A and B are shown apart, each in its own frame.
Chain A
């Protein structure tokens, strides 16, 4: 079963929409409640004051993901650097993807962007496992400069999903700014799946691609991780 990490700024009231909860029913979920602190405040000191309140809120949220059925667990982290925390916990739990929660109702159609530094193979199999046989439609999206190769990749990938009985459409953006084209394509979809991208100067300035997509498209975004650093999974 795939595992998805759902990080939530627990003390800032961040929560998950029912649509995302439903979408993730087919996956194991680790709810990562985190609280990011200014450097003046030792994490221990914040835990002292907020720990029990955060645990209460986290237990309620995790229950929605099915802690009772054993398909979900939760962790609470106090940190100065949330990105570092996401990476560590994702690595330790061996998560295939992490979620940027957004607002959405029932999810009928996913936009799946075959971009980022993650192998297309990995994104496609993640989507196949996530959608399973639930009748959720998928639009495969690719932004590229090379139209011919792009069409070929989309066709090959859509066959793999269609073989499993998934309703697949494709959308190709040629010579357009990839992120803008992705946000435009997200209209009419309830959530976005995309590949993780290595941090660059642009992500330092504008924030992570996934968070920009989530902000612009309002809906949730699932980011498929580059699995290479997961060998350390489940180290105590």
Chain B
């Protein structure tokens, strides 16, 4: 098959590296070498769930209940519905283009270089905002852990601890050559076990089957609009499934495993989130939950299972926020590699360290901004900007799917096809863009600012690069 020649060069004269490859279930075969696919379904699910679970369960319940009351459960359900509407189209595109880079890759190939560049670079920043958010959440849990151990250090140490560990993760990712993937799978399995036990017990209690009955609270005390703004806030809890697509090039049997990992992780965490909010708001009034703040779940654990419950949740929260932050640092580095390979960033950004074999430049470009944002400590702003930048990508993924399907190119041959085309992707696009409208003005401003900056970079650096349809 004749491949189209790589299109154009950037300001430094670098061209996108585009070449013919043969994809099998076990490897990607290029002219020169084979690239082994080593991630199985459980590995993919661990990335998706491990990235998402920290935020939704351990950081948001207090904040969300304070805003929407028990109806925060509905906010999480709305988030899950939107995430599913995007995960399905994203799965189809991922099986048609099982390459590293995920959403950026689909959009640059389906909709052209400008949108691709905006999304690719915004994804970098979106992941940076998300990682900073997870790190601040981690800081709260670290302080609470110390408190549970009898060392009261006060809230002043939240940010310093978050910064310390953020720097630590970055350095470990540059220098650590032990494979942590198995550890990540174990952590996710452990977290799921803790949560299932806790939610089962709390659920029985909350339903009035065991323990003291609690006074029911009005479901949506503040009305419908806060339910939507809360959905916009907590959508950060659903960003992880797109991270699965960033490692699409390393998944075994991508035609089967990618859709299962993306849709499966959204379904699993969605159910857990809704159950968590139900259990939490049954234990305490939403006002009280809100006062407990980022670590409200610790008090919920204490309410149901005493000191052991509090300890299990604190421990789970530490693990979960850590694994979310670490997974995001790794995804950021892959996102940077994807745009740099396409000459939208200097090629140097994807250099690999000779000593450790790790992409130290990209990891540094992830870690540096993450630390700066972590230092702001603005939990809600960080979460919303992360969601904003991801939602733009999600909406465009749906648009890209519709565009590709309307005029299917010869190379387009997905193993998985979205049911309910074109309604599902159309709804996914509309819902993604609409949710942005419910965010705080400050978050919207920062998000738009990032997008304008990335578009500016494209016109300055890479306006002659052409990626549309260049597989």
- Please indicate whether A and B come from the same complex rather than being unrelated chains: yes
Q: A42, B27: Cβ atoms under 8 Å?
A: no
Count the A residues whose beta carbon is within 8 Å of the partner chain — how many? 29
> Are B359 and A77 in contact, CB atoms less than 8 angstroms apart?
no
Bound together, the chains give a CA A84 to CA B36 distance in angstroms of 8
Does A199 make an interface contact (CB < 8 A)? no
List chain A residues, Cβ under 8 A from B352.
41, 45-46, 49-50
In whole angstroms, what is the CA distance A151 to B100 when docked?
57
Binds A, one of B61-69, B130-138, B146-154, B171-179: B171-179
Contact-residue bracket for chain B: 35 or more
Binds A, one of B197-205, B330-338, B385-393: B330-338
Whether, in the assembled complex, B342 has its beta carbon less than 8 Å from a beta carbon of chain A, the answer is no
Contact of B363 among A40, A50, A54, A85 (CB under 8 A): A40
> Could you say which of A38, A43, A47 has the most chain B C-beta atoms within 10 Å of its C-beta?
A38
Which residues of B lie under 8 Å from residue A81 when comparing CB positions? 36, 38
Task: Please tell me if the beta carbons of A42 and B100 are within 8 angstroms of each other in the complex.
Answer: yes
Asked whether A40 lies within 8 Å of B38 as measured between CB atoms, the reply is: no
Interchain CB contact (< 8 A) of B35 among A39, A50, A78, A236: A78
B337 and A40 contacting across the interface, CB-CB below 8 Å: no
Which residues of A have CB within 8 Å of B32?
A: 47, 51-52, 55, 76
> Which residues of chain A come closer than 8 Å to B466, judged between CB atoms?
none
Give complex CA distance A45, B334 in Å: 9
A162 within 8 A of B: no
**Once the chains are docked, how many angstroms separate the CA of A45 from the CA of B340?**
10
Q: Shortest Cβ distance from B181 into chain A, in angstroms?
A: 5
How far is B32's CA from A49's CA once the two chains are assembled, in angstroms?
Answer: 12
Residue numbers in A under 8 Å from B358 (CB-CB): 38, 40-41
| Residues of B close to A77: CB separation below 8 A | 27, 33-36
Residue of B nearest to A49 (CB): B352
| Chain B residues positioned under 8 Å from A46 (CB to CB) | 352, 357
Considering the chains assembled together, what is the distance between the CA atoms of A77 and B22 in angstroms? 14
- With A44-B100, A48-B341 already in contact, 6 other A-B pairs whose C-beta atoms are closer than 8 Å: A40-B173, A42-B249, A45-B350, A51-B33, A79-B35, A81-B38
Which B residues are closer than 8 A to A by beta carbons?
17, 22, 24, 26-28, 30, 32-36, 38, 100, 173-174, 176-181, 247, 249-250, 330, 333-334, 337, 341, 350-352, 356-359, 363
A-B contact pairs, 17 of them (CB 8 A): A38-B176, A38-B177, A39-B330, A42-B100, A43-B35, A43-B36, A45-B341, A50-B352, A76-B32, A77-B27, A77-B34, A77-B36, A78-B35, A79-B38, A80-B36, A80-B38, A88-B26
Chain A contact residues, CB within 8 Å of chain B: 37-52, 54-55, 75-81, 84-85, 88, 236
Considering the complex of A and B, which 4 residue pairs feature the smallest CB-CB distances, nearest first? Answer: A79-B36, A43-B35, A76-B33, A80-B38
